[in-house]
């Protein structure tokens, strides 16, 4: 017996083998889950399909979360393929690159809407579309970052979006609680993924992180996978609406300077 045997898990947000969603998929597979994948667009299929197939998955469907019809279509296909779903992982975030530098007050109306649509509303939209096929005892999981709570220079509109995402976790946990579905988020420390590459603000932060965090180590996608297994398995029954930190302890610091020894 493994922790997720007999459970169907749908994973949104694999772009490549460095994606946090991929770390979660590997950990779920190791615990016996049956996996389905969704990817953002045609360009990514070439990357995602072989990864998904390497974990024995045959459900691999496109879904641009900016489009209601795409979301409804994966929900319908998941219903036909799996019947019911036990786990849904949302590992998606996006803002225009130009919004992730300079002062936050330069955020454009358009850039604000786009970041909120892709990074926040999509989780709520998925929860709504999948609600009819979520099995009682099931779990929804999303990924957030400490910039939701405290200022992370240049994270800007994404910080505001993550704050709204964390609030969404609590409202969804309230809504779905009576149906026996739990909703939680993992707040991950900085990891070098596609979404983090080419962002200058990220590089500076990443360089210092492992010296400042209590555990003195960078966070890996496999670390996130471990906590995701806990949050999506019956080990965390009665845990809902929570933001769980997987950040080498960084968030507990009031004054991040390197420890003395
Ligand atoms: P990633 O680039 O591997 O994953 C981001 C995913 O979002 C990609 O698969 C991309 O295709 C998808 N996406 C973007 N727009 C989409 C759309 N319109 N429709 C469907 N999918 C779309 O990077 P990642 O770091 O693994 O990011 C995953 C999540 O983790 C994000 O929510 C991110 O904010 C969060 N996070 C990342 C870090 C980090 O340091 N990398 C830290 C904390 C939280
Ligand atoms: O959530 C994230 C990544 C968010 C992200 C990154 C990009 C880069 C490329 C969203 N959209 C885009 N759009 C692009 O065009 N993280 C937690 C990682 C991250 O990103 C930062 C960080 C950290 C940490 C950006 C600036 C400062 C710190």
Helices 20-30, 221-232: inter-axial angle, 10-degree rounding: 50
- pLDDT tens for residues 158-199? 999 999 999 999 999 999 999 999 999 999 999 999 999 888
CA atoms within 13 A on the CB side of 177: 13
> What residues are annotated to the active site?
145, 155
Specify burial of residue 150 (Cβ count, 10 A radius: 0-12, 13-18, 19+).
Answer: exposed
- What the block records as the tokens of 226 is 């471990």
| Residues in CB range of 218: below 8 A, 6 or more apart | 189, 190, 191, 206, 209, 210, 248
**Is there a contact between 93 and 116 (Cβ–Cβ < 8 Å)?**
no
- What the block records as the tokens of 22 is 């991929």
User: How far is CA 68 from each of CA 14, 131, 158, rounded to the nearest angstrom?
Assistant: 20, 15, 22
Average pLDDT, the chain: 97
For residue 260, report the distance from its CA to the centre of ligand 1, in Å. Answer: 35
Q: Which ligand is nearest to the CA of 37?
A: 1
What is the average per-residue pLDDT within 211-215?
97
Q: Which helix (H) or strand (E) holds 39?
A: strand 34-39
> Which residue's CA is minimally distant from atom 28 of ligand 2?
202
Top mutation candidate among 13, 16, 100 for ligand 2, by most atoms within 8 Å of CB: 100
- pLDDT tens for residues 23-39? 999 999 999 999 999 99
> Which residue's CA is minimally distant from atom 25 of ligand 2?
155
Question: Does the predicted model carry a pTM greater than 0.95?
Answer: yes
Atom nearest to 93 CA in ligand 2? 10
| Residues in CB range of 75: below 8 A, 6 or more apart | 129, 130, 132, 133
For residue 119, report the distance from its CA to the centre of ligand 1, in Å. Answer: 9
**Is there a contact between 77 and 1 (Cβ–Cβ < 8 Å)?**
no
Ligand 2 contact via 104 beta carbon (within 6 Å): no
For residue 261, report the distance from its CA to the centre of ligand 1, in Å. Answer: 35
Atom nearest to 190 CA in ligand 1? 40
């Amino acid at each position: 017996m493994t922790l997720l045997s007999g459970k169907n898990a749908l994973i949104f947000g694999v772009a490549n083998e460095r994606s946090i969603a991929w770390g979660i998929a590997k950990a779920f597979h190791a615990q016996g889950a049956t996996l389905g994948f969704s990817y953002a667009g045609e360009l990514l299929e070439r990357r995602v399909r072989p990864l998904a197939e390497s974990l024995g998955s045959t459900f691999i469907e496109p879904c641009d979360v900016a489009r209601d019809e795409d979301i409804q279509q994966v929900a319908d296909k998941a219903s036909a393929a799996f019947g019911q779903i036990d786990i849904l992982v949302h590992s998606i975030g996006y803002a225009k690159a130009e919004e992730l530098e300079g002062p936050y007050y330069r955020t454009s109306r358009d850039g604000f809407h786009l970041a909120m649509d892709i990074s926040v509303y999509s989780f709520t939209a998925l929860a709504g579309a999948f609600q009819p096929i979520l099995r009682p005892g099931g779990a929804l999981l999303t990924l957030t970052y400490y910039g939701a709570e405290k200022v992370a220079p240049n994270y800007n509109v994404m910080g505001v979006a993550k704050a709204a995402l964390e609030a969404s976790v609590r409202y969804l946990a309230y809504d779905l609680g009576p149906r026996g579905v739990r909703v939680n988020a993992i707040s991950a420390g900085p990891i070098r993924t596609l979404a983090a590459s080419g962002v200058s603000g990220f590089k500076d932060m990443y360089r210092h992180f492992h010296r400042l965090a209590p555990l003195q180590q960078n966070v890996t996608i496999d670390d996130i996978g471990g906590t995701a297994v806990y949050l999506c398995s019956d080990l965390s029954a009665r845990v809902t609406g929570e933001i769980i930190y997987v950040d080498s302890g960084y968030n507990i610091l009031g004054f991040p300077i390197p420890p003395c020894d």
